[in-house]
Amino acid sequence: MSKIIIATVENAPGVLNRVSSLLRRRNFNISSLTVAPMIDSNFSKMVISLEKGVDATQVSKHLHKLISVLKVATYNRNDIILHASLFIKVNATRASRSEILQFGAMYNANIVNLSTKDITFQYSAHPDKIEEFIEVMTVFGIKDIVRSGITAIGK
C-alpha cells in the first residue's frame, strides 16, 4: 500500500458507483475502499487505499472532476493513522486450543465464537498487525476470514 486518499463526498445514491466506475475506467487498482457517513449525514468520507504503482496525483485529479466529490486529500503512510478489522475462524483441536488462545490474547483479539472444532476471533488494529496476526494463525489452519477496508484519519 503506497498512498491513501480521503475524499469527502455527498452522501447520495450513486456516488460510490460513480467513484468506483471512474477508478475502473482509468485502470486505477485499489486495495481497499471504505465509505461511511460523517457527523453531518449529508456527507460521507471515502478512504481509498491505492496499490503500489498507482499515481495518487492522477487519482486525485480525476476525483476532483466529479461534482459529488467535495474535497480530496492524499496521504503517505507516515501522515495518517490507519486501522482495519478482521474476523478469522481458525481450526482448533484439543492439542492446539490453548496455544491459539494464547496467541489471540497476545494480540488482544476478541473471541467471538468458540466451538469444539474452531475459534473465531475479531481483531482490530493497524493493517500491518492484521497481516501479522493472519500469518500467526495460518499455522493452525484458517477456515474462514473476513476483512474490513482500511479506515484512516490524518494526523
* 81-154 and 3-78 share a CATH fold: yes
- Domain coordinates of the chain in residue numbers? 3-78, 81-154
pTM of the model: 0.81
Q: What is the pLDDT of residues 16-43, one digit of tens each?
A: 999 988 888 888 888 889 999 999 999 9
Q: What is the pLDDT of residues 67-113, one digit of tens each?
A: 899 999 998 878 899 999 999 999 999 999 999 999 999 999 999 99
CATH class of 3-78: alpha beta
DSSP 75-123: EEGGGEEEEEEEEEEEE--HHHHHHHHHHHHHTTPEEEEE-SSEEEEEE
CATH number, span 81-154:
3.30.70.1150
